[in-house]
Structure 1
Amino acid sequence: MLLTITTTRTPATDLSYLLHKHPGKLQAVGLSQGVAHIFYPHADDDKCTVALLLDVDPIGLVRKSGEGGPDSFTLEHYVNDRPYVASSFMSVAIAKAFSTAMNGKCEKRPELVDVTMPFEVTISVLPAVKGGEVLIRRLFEPLGYAVMVERYVLDENFPEWGQSKYFTVHLKADLKLKDLLSHVYVLIPVLDNEKHYWVSQQEVEKLLKKGEGWLKDHSEKEQIIKRYLRNIGGLAKNALARLTEDEPVEVSAHDDGERDIAREKLHDKRLNVVLDELVSSGSNTVVDLGCGEGKLLKMLLREKQFKKILGVDVSYRSLEKAARRLVFDEMPPKQKERIEIMQGALTYRDKRLAGFDAAAIVEVIEHLDLNRLKAFERVVFEFAKPGTVVLTTPNREYNELFETMEAGAMRHTDHRFEWTRAEFETWATDVATRNSYSVSFKPVGDVHERVGAPTQMAIFKR
């Protein structure tokens, strides 16, 4: 496992003062699972690079962990990727090798601690089993990093085996070294579910301490917390509650059984209205952008009109559920030829999305940060350019009719915004004008005389 950090701020060797590591010395720190070596491949006034090389002993690791049970005789515990893959081991090495820098201390040059410097970081290699490149970008880009990702094939001699879960990640940003180290310390184990340590309340304390100043405002804070804490529900809820204790409590749109039923009825009604629009458009090929668990895909599959159907979602877990809902593995060959599901983000250009007659975007945009809407617009309307786009989003004005919803709250904790009818129509009209589309609007659900319907729909035509 290798982590390198480079700066070109003159004099670049100031980095060595911050890290409390002399450029002319090869140093090492002992870890319970191996040794971490610290050295400088390059160090002068113009450029300084520090490397943290982690040498993990997988056999010693297994012996110390006391692996047992009926399968303990197998080679699985001894033959693995741990010597080569940056994971929770690397975070431990960072904490031990660069503890003073990460804690914002510099005895000889204390003024350097709060200096913003240009940094380039390379992490070789990272596993990203569920999320891949999309997840890596969603973790680092909101923190201001320019991200470049290299993915590895499973075996160059057998390309038909496909892509591996491993990536080399290159990051560039101008920031303080203590912030950079905290980001990497937290986010590396977020990408790897195979934690080598026991996850307990102590890890909650570490996460909140290292995430201080940036985690609270991160657009993916809930996912970061859950994955860092190995999806242990009680610990994750505790960490999120403490992190957001000064913020207004967001109330879900289904706080009791009756509202669960009402929400489900609205969701079914919404999907039926969207399906009707897609059918009436005369389209033969359709892409469901943000397909979730595949409810609309299943409905589309029943319509013989659609010869090609594609479901796209950023969540690998949701795609797995969609495949199960569609009984994809047991689907007849001719039907399977009509449908495909794939992982992808709606804020990055993807050639696979182009060429469809129609696109459905159902309750998706409100999950995007407002500053990412422009990227979403370009991906859908400028690059993919479907002939018809059917898009729905909640109507914020209707929220006051939910008796158990507090004023100002949103319907879901993951919503980044919710628009009034006027705000939605202004946005949609601007998008249509810029991209040579016409647009019309329809209410979805029971219409209230004063606040409208719970869901608002825009139908774009190119």
Structure 2
Amino acid sequence: MLITITTTREPATDLGFLLHKHPDRVQAFELAVGTAHVFYPEANEQRCTAALLLEVDPVALVRGRRGDGEGFALAQYVNDRPYAASSLMAVAMKDVFRSALAGQCNARPELAASPLPLEITIPALPCSGGVELARRVFEPLGWTVDATSVPLDPELPQWGASRYLDVVLTGTVRLADALNHLYLLLPVLDDGKHYWFSTEEVDKLVRAGGTWLATHPEKTLIARRYLLHRRELTREALARLAELDETEPEAVDDAVDGARILEPPDKPLPLHELRRGAVLAALRASGARRVGDLGCGEGTLVAQLLADRFFDHVVATDVSARALQIAGRKLKLDRMTPEQRARIDIFQSSLTYRDDRLQGLDAAVLMEVIEHVDPPRLAALERAVFGVARPGTVVVTTPNVEYNVRYETLPAGARRHRDHRFEWTRAEFASWADSTASAHGYRVRLLPVGDEDLDVGAPTQMAVFTRGEIAA
């Protein structure tokens, strides 16, 4: 596999500083997928080209694995892994150009932050979608795309074109952005990955895509393909991207032409999973590291917060001692290592009373909590959470009573839970959110959670409060 990166910004050899690889040296890096080589075919003041060559052993990749998923026994010998710039090249880029991907360059920080004239050449790019798809994903990012289809056999033109493209990208782009474009889009165009796939891929997608992916016209296609058409993971990624773009997730969760479904669609996600996904997306978008789940119940959200290393510390509280006991058992507090136990504080607390232990949180979650509070006590909750604890971000979810008519098993006028003291309409929730934000120096955004009905809205409504001085 081969990719070259060329710049003509003088002195062009400064490209070596940005890539942290000296133009006068040939360097080799042993990776899990093979050996990566970095060298410079040309390096002078006017023009400098860096090449990344990845040597892959396709047999070693599948040796010892139960079932290689390639479809036939000889696939480990007959495939395109050593030649086509696929997800394995993205892995190599992350390992070899880690600092450049992050935009870090102590020697030339101003250069790392500046757009550069770049030309990127990919002689063999597998692309399920052809030249048109390559243009659709690269051109919105500021690239001019010169792509031609590689014939199956130059000596037998009647065989037609292969799925491989010879691509040249030209544009004036920050090097870190260019590398992140390639890191995400190589496996997207190939529409496949050749390494162990886990739910951490959502984090990789959001982290590498940042704000450019949130505004990309093909973000749904990119997310679906990058996440191997896993519907649940795609929904989570789109919700998190929507937070970055301040667009409602449901507005971008439509099917996109060209996306190839590889497996039957998943069953619709239960509302409680959609709700937790929306809350986690809001927390990640806020940048919060120290998070409190206030009214944690039996600890389901707490478990997900602890599983996400993005969050450094989790505070879990509930007014019910029994709920905390159940949460402790489910979280296996007694089996945690000292390091794991140090990441969580769990204790009994009432949100209608001042509790100084809740101060210092970056973000707090009240997920399906406020409707369990008697309306006359809501003012006390507001003072305790927004006035005293004052986290940078507060995420509140509550049922939308207007949606109750869509539940056939729910009697007319009944509430969704026997302990609910009230259930608000969208207008009532918006009024409460606006007045609470205004009274305590917060800004607020309202978002629907779940499939939104044109007449009655979504089943759950969510408010994301951001403290004014933090948001400014």
Name the structure 1 match of 2:109. Answer: 110
Cα 1:251–1:197, aligned 2, differ >3 Å: closer, same or farther?
Answer: closer
Name the structure 1 match of 2:175. Answer: 177
Give distance in 2, aligned partners of 1:117 and 1:70. 40
Gap runs ≥5 in structure 2: 262-452, 459-472
Shift of 1:64: 4.6
Indicate whether 1:5 and 2:57 are aligned: no
Cα 1:110–1:244, aligned 2, differ >3 Å: closer, same or farther?
Answer: same
Which amino acid is 1:190 matched to?
V
Q: 8 Å contact 1:114–1:176 — kept in the other structure?
A: yes
Name the structure 2 match of 1:134. Answer: 132
Alignment of 1:247-266 (within 5 A): 247-249=246-248
Name the structure 2 match of 1:315. Answer: 258
Shift of 1:254: 13
Name the structure 2 match of 1:119. Answer: 118
Using the size of structure 2 for normalisation, the TM-score is 0.53
Q: Which has the higher contact order (CA 8 A, sep 6+)?
A: 1
Name the structure 2 match of 1:265. Answer: none
Give distance in 2, aligned partners of 1:254 and 1:44. 48
Q: Secondary structure at the match of 1:13?
A: helix
Give distance in 1, aligned partners of 2:25 and 2:252. 59
Cα 1:92–1:70, aligned 2, differ >3 Å: closer, same or farther?
Answer: closer
Q: Secondary structure at the match of 1:42?
A: strand
Which amino acid is 1:192 matched to?
D
Indicate whether 1:81 and 2:42 are aligned: no
Q: 8 Å contact 1:6–1:121 — kept in the other structure?
A: yes
Cα 1:173–1:231, aligned 2, differ >3 Å: closer, same or farther?
Answer: same
Question: Could you report, residue by residue, the CA deviation over 1:380-438 in whole angstroms, capped at 9, with x for unpaired residues?
Answer: xxxxxxxxxxxxxxxxxxxxx952469xxxxxxxxxxxxxxxxxxxxxxxxxxxxxxxx
Alignment of 1:144-159 (within 5 A): 144-159=142-157
Give distance in 1, aligned partners of 2:120 and 2:130. 19
Q: 8 Å contact 1:134–1:314 — kept in the other structure?
A: no
Gap runs ≥5 in structure 1: 256-291, 293-312, 319-400, 407-462
Which amino acid is 1:196 matched to?
H
Which amino acid is 1:244 matched to?
A
Cα 1:35–1:45, aligned 2, differ >3 Å: closer, same or farther?
Answer: same
Q: 8 Å contact 2:220–2:252 — kept in the other structure?
A: no
Name the structure 2 match of 1:39. Answer: 39
Please provide the CA RMSD for this pair: 2.8
Indicate whether 1:67 and 2:67 are aligned: yes
Q: 8 Å contact 2:7–2:48 — kept in the other structure?
A: yes
Using the size of structure 1 for normalisation, the TM-score is 0.54
Cα 1:148–1:87, aligned 2, differ >3 Å: closer, same or farther?
Answer: same
Cα 1:123–1:65, aligned 2, differ >3 Å: closer, same or farther?
Answer: farther
Alignment of 1:24-423 (within 5 A): 24-67=24-67, 74-129=73-128, 131-245=129-243, 247-249=246-248, 315=258, 402-404=454-456
Question: Could you report, residue by residue, the CA deviation over 1:87-133 in whole angstroms, capped at 9, with x for unpaired residues?
Answer: 0001011111111011111122222210211000001211112x111
Question: Could you report, residue by residue, the CA deviation over 1:129-166 in whole angstroms, capped at 9, with x for unpaired residues?
Answer: 2x111110000000010000021111123222211101
Q: 8 Å contact 1:142–1:218 — kept in the other structure?
A: yes
Give distance in 1, aligned partners of 2:71 and 2:213. 39
Cα 1:402–1:20, aligned 2, differ >3 Å: closer, same or farther?
Answer: closer
Give distance in 1, aligned partners of 2:69 and 2:131. 35
Give distance in 1, aligned partners of 2:7 and 2:252. 47
Shift of 1:168: 1.1
Shift of 1:248: 4.0
Give distance in 2, aligned partners of 1:123 and 1:219. 23
Q: Secondary structure at the match of 1:173?
A: strand
Q: Secondary structure at the match of 1:108?
A: coil
